[in-house]
Structure 1
Amino acid sequence: MLIKKVKINGFGKLKNKEIKFKPGLNVIFGPNSSGKTTLAYFLLNSLSKPGNEIKKYEPWNHFEFGGEISTDEGDFKVDFLNGEFNSLVDRELLETIGFIMEDEKLDTIKEKDAFVISYMKKRMQKNEWGLKLTDAINKTDEYANEIQLCIENISKQISEIDSYIDSVKEKIKNYNNKISKKNELKRKSEQLKQILEEKEEEISNLKREYIQEITEKINSLKTERDKLNLNLKEYLKFSKIDRDTVSQAKELLETIEVLENNIKSISSQLEELENNFSSIENTLNEKMRNLNIENEKDLEKVNLKIKNLSLLKKLYDEKKTKLENILEENPLWKLFTENEEIIEEVEKQEAIYRENQAKIQNKIEENEKVLKKLNSSIKVHKDFSFVFFFAAIISLLLGFVMRNINIWLFFGAAFTGFIGLFETILWRKIESRMDEVKAEIQELTKKKMIRPTYLSILKDYNLKSIKELRQKYYEFIEWKTRKKEYNQVSEEFKNLESEILRELKDFNLGSAAQIIDSGIAYLEKLYNDIQKLLLSKSSIEREIAKLNEELERMKAKREESFTSLNKMLEELKISIDEIKDFENIYNEYLKIKETITKIDSEIEKFENILSEEIYPEYIMSKIYETEKLRDELNSYEKELQEDVEKAPEFSEILENLKKRDELSRKLETLKGYYSNIEVSKQILQKNLEEYVETYGKKFKEEFTKILLSITNEPLPLIVEENLSVRLNINGEKLNPNEFLSAATFDQLLFAYKIALYRTMSEHNLPLVIDNALIRYDNTRLQKTLEILDEESKRRQIILLTSDERLKNKFKEALILEG
């Protein structure tokens, strides 16, 4: 493959850049950060599938990401933004043998990718000896295929003969089965005939027994029907009676019964009401005697007297309450009598007490403010004293340690100690002042808690405030005013009492003052009771009259119903008891008729069974079984009449068996040939594999030769079968990356990749070197360039470098500006 030119529209820092290449060696010089590595990765990603590093080269503030590459195979466009790329070369193969990058960390210890080793093996197969072995293997495959074809043809013929023999066997087997089956059918047919005879005899017996049973049932039902017809004659007269007339007669009977019950009920109610009337009248006469009256006409006068007594009683109670209030005294009345100016004295004491309390509270608040100030001052002086004492101790200790300045430190310790002592004295003085202030606050609090004298007075008389005391004083003044009216009220009270007692005396209730309340209440209750009794008496009289009217009406209706009932009984010619029980008698008549109808239906059903020969389930199942056996016997006889196909000829079978034996011997011989060809093929295959596996030897020779031509001294390197490279130091296989210098490792990497390409020279891939020769010394650089000159005859080389030595050596080098 030959790269002719690249056109980069946008890739990393390269934008709108076009570079042309020639066959052989192309040197491109550029300082650091000029875009050499960017160009190398553009070549890699435009020839093969893009890798993960493509994201790093997406240009900023540029709408294109890609370009175009021209090779001897054609022009190919790449657009990484839209996923448009090429797969001209396998990426892993191109990276392995077509690119050498600066600071590349190729791990030569690990086994190389399988595709590289596979390419080497294919190349080994294409030389003279490899081709001969491959051709021999192909020939064995052809012979094996021909023999396999013969084996398949013979196997097919044997299979056809086996199929024929199997079909003959099947025919013989079928013939034998049919003969056996016919014999079995004959035996079964004889058995079935015998079973059928037994079944038919059993069915005949069952039918005879069933017909006899049905005949007996018919006779029994006819006898029962005759008896019922005799009983029916006794009920014939009831069947001719009009049922509506009977219903009317029954309704009259029920009406008479209801009327009888109502008459009894009303009679008992009348008796009870008369008893109650008599009791009320007795109670009323007794209560009227208690009021000193003989009849109801005097009751209104008594009512007026009782109302007058109630009014007098009301006035009497008012006067009595007034007298009790005048006579009632309060312990405070004595206090107010002894000292009428007590209110003014108490109010004066209260004012003085409140003023003193306010003064004490103000003094306490002032002392609390002083206390807060002293407390904050103590904290400051206390903290300063601790700090200065601590500084004095530190200075004293340092004075013992640092002898060159110990005098100054001792002086500092004394000075800070003195200040600390001064602060402590101040702190203690303020503390003593705080104690004095606290004592003063406690004293003031005690004074504040002392109760005044006026509160003791209020407490003694269960008063809560001076306002309540003042209210009591107003009551005291009212009491004094009322006391002056006492004599007048007392006289009025006595007059009322005398008048009430005179009135009560007319009712024989005595003349003592104690009976005034109970006597008047008694008279009111007595009057109310008489009123209630009079109302009850009047109500009972009306109810008695009403019930008497109802009783007479019901008796008349009862007589009328009796007359109508007797007339109906004469027409129907039946008794009252028969009327009452008519429904049962008529139902019995209907029941007998229904039973006779059912019996007739049963007799008809049984006669139909006999005439139409209808048999029960158990007989029909026997008949069905017999029919089934008869069908089975017919099928057996039909099968016995069928013809049996003849068996195949024995001579034909013998001829096919001989032919199969002959073919089997040929098949065994061919299988032996096929097995020997397979063994031969395995031997040739093994020889080819052993030959191909020598690719490692060729790679090692090429690698050692290139590396020795650069370094001019052998290195203790080992190339293993998996192409891994290791350093052999004192019998240990070590990683060369860890023990070789960076420049030597770069030369090892260069030799490794050139050797890989030469071993796989069937792939004409360009070689791109990205500043990988920068650490070479002049001698080794010159030898490397000689190798590259020889290599450029095989393939195109693109050398990207920032080495001034190469710029000076190759005047025609393309300059890539940073």
Structure 2
Amino acid sequence: MIIKDLKIKRFGNLKNIELTFKEGINIVYGGNEAGKSTLQSFIKVWLYGISAKRNKSLRDNLRTRYAIYNSERSQGELLVNVKSEDLRIIRSFGNTKKEDNSNIIDEISGSKVNEISLDEPGKDLLNISLSSFENTLFIKGLGTYVSSSKDDEVMHRLTNSFESGEEGVSYFKAIAKLELLRKSIITTRGNGELDKFKESKDKLIEEREDFLITSNKNIEDESRLIDIKKEKEETELKLKKLDFYKKHIKKMKLQKEYKDILEYLRKSQELKKLAEGIEVELKSEEGLLDREKVEVIKEDVAVLLSFNEVIESKLEEEQEIEKERRSIEEILEGNKSIIELGDDLEEKTLKLYKEIEVNKSKILVYEENIKEIDGLKNRLNEIKLSLGKGVNIEGYEDDIDSTIKEYEELLFMLKDKIDLGYKEDLTKEIKKKKNSNFIITISIILGILSSIALALVKPSFSIIPLFFVGFLLNIRFKLSKDIEKLTDDKYSKERLKEIEEKIIDKENKLNEYVNMLKFSSLEELGVSLSKYKRHKEEIRVLSALIKEREEKSYNGEISEIKSRYLEDTKMLNTIFGYARCDSLEALLLKIKDLKEVLSRQKIVNERWNNYSENLKSLNNEKERKEKKLYDKLQLIGFQDIPLNNLNLELDKILDKLQEKEQVQASLKSVEETYKVLLKDRDLENINKELEYIINDNLDYSYETEEEVDFEIKQTNLKLINIEKELKDVENSIYNRFLGKRSLISIEGDLQEVLDNISELSLRLKGVELAIELLEESFKELQKNMGPVLNEKVSYYFSKLTSGKYKEVKVSQNYELVVVEGRGDILSGELLSNGAWDQVYLSLRLALVDMLFKEQKVPLIFDDAFVQYDDNRLRNVLEVLSEVSYKRQIILFSCQKREVDILKNMASKIESLNTEMQVIELI
């Protein structure tokens, strides 16, 4: 595969770029920031895409750096030639992989190519991955070092090739199949056949353990069932005994009831006498006092007392308000001067201060602009003085530049035509056209024969080949004319003369500019143009800046601005003096404090008005309540008791009422108990029943029937719980084995699974042993391939170092050891930076030779030789010239050394049957 051209619509900071590459050596020259590394990244991205993995390093994140630039998507085309077919890779990239687009088109037919990966076409076109591409064909600045990884595709492919002559056979396929077989048996995710059988084994063992545990639980429940039944019998027997004792205790209770009835009758008589004595003490003019009347009077007293407290607190508030009013008046008197300046003083002052600051800023900007304009004009004058006559080129530079380039191209063309190579090219062109003529002649004969054959079979179709023959005859006639023209020596001379005339025409045009712009020679014009181009952008920028700064200056307005600034400043100082302040902050703080004082004054005045109205209302309400309370106290004879002592006397009455209520409650309770004890009987009948009491002897010690009832209730509850527990245990025994398989069935399935596990484990060991043996064999092959790689690396390293080092050893992970001419052995890491870079370049070239053999592939260098001295650079360019007949060299450089050295080697490059071109980036 070789790269024929690239077209960048937008990629990073590059826009609308088109470059064409030759099969031999291509030097892309340009200064720093010209876009060389971006072009190199474009080639890599168009071949291998942008990785979806996120990279923390912004510099290494190609999507962040190149995909979207100034809101524009990366878009472009890369034309490659693979096995004589031109394929155009058309891609565009967005912020995410979903936004990416790729197409590969056959350049001749325009049809889409589907058999090549759209994401990573380089994998199919070069038959290597991105990491292998970077380890062989893609060489970044100071980056000839070759890195190794766990899955080193380059070394594996070389080993396969060394073993069988084919890169994709044996080891990889065998390992892949064995790995696939191993994954079918066991995987890290646990979804292999052996994993599933192991999982089944665990489940069956768990099922067997569960069955055995269930059996043990049933044995325990059977034993427990016997104990529960025994406990039930004992509880039922206890209930029978308690019921008998309850009948016995009723007889004993009747005797005690008789004594209690007599005692409650006596208590009832005593409580009635006590209640009559309390009622005498509670008599008043309105009759007996009750709790409700006393509570109402007590509430009125509390209300009146609270009114007195509120009125006293109001008097304290009056003193507080009066004190605050005097304080506010003193503050206002002290700020009388500020008040006289008006209510909008703050607004006026701020407006005045803002105007002062704006004018001050304008004055400063004007002064800074003047200084900056003077500096810019001085710099512009310096540049124009340094250019001398070159200043006159302004406006003509583009035309002069293009004319010089065309002039140089015509000179090179003339030189090429004069050289022997021109005739060789002409011979090649004639031979090519003759070959085409021969092919067309054969096609014409075939067309005539086809027409004759069709005339015999289907006469109506015989005319179709004749149309084709007529078309080919026309082409053959034109080719014959072209061959005549090319073989005519007169035609060759006319072409040379035509080029010479164009050269004279360009010389005349350039001389016109020399005369018009008063230069002494074409050389002086060229030097001045180059010098002017270097300063052109700076002159444009300086002129634009001067114009911009002059537009920003206030010019005629500045005198008026300065005058307003002085007047406003004077007025502001007058306000400060009148307000006795030395700054705007102090004045604003005084105004703020004064506003707060005025606000406080308003609040205090409102508070005073509210206070006066409230006090008057409180006094009126107090008088009304005092009269109402006095009327009530007069009825109960308390009108002469002071207000503060009333609560004490009223509490005494409440205590008497409470005592009366307690006596009445006790009397009611006694009477109710007396009635209950009698139970509609009389004392004589109770006395007769007592004669029939039977003295039964029982073991229980319960004294009351309630105690027996309680015990009966608890025993019944216990019996219910026992019966419930009995049912639960019986159900548990019955239901425990429902839905469970038999132990024999479980054991049978388990044995079958264990047999499968044993068989698969044996198969897995066989697969792993096969993989191990294959890997050991592969490593042995890599050792056999090593000497071949060492020989190739040594060959290139010797040429690059002019024979200083005679041998290089390469380890499996690309670590290098070199042998000097005198036999000393050195680690590659001990070499100088230049030699270290050379030895790894030799390794890359050797790897490319072994990996691609005679296949044409591009070698891409990005400022790879910046640390080489001239001798090293000459050596490496000679080596690259030698390999350029089978490798396309694309060399990106920021220095002209490579260009100069290769131009001096032009004749040698031609002798190697290769070609060279220089592309300059501007």
Output the TM-score relative to the length of structure 2: 0.38
**Structure of larger gyration radius:** 1
- Compare relative contact order (CA 8 Å, sep 6+) and give the higher one, 1 or 2: 1
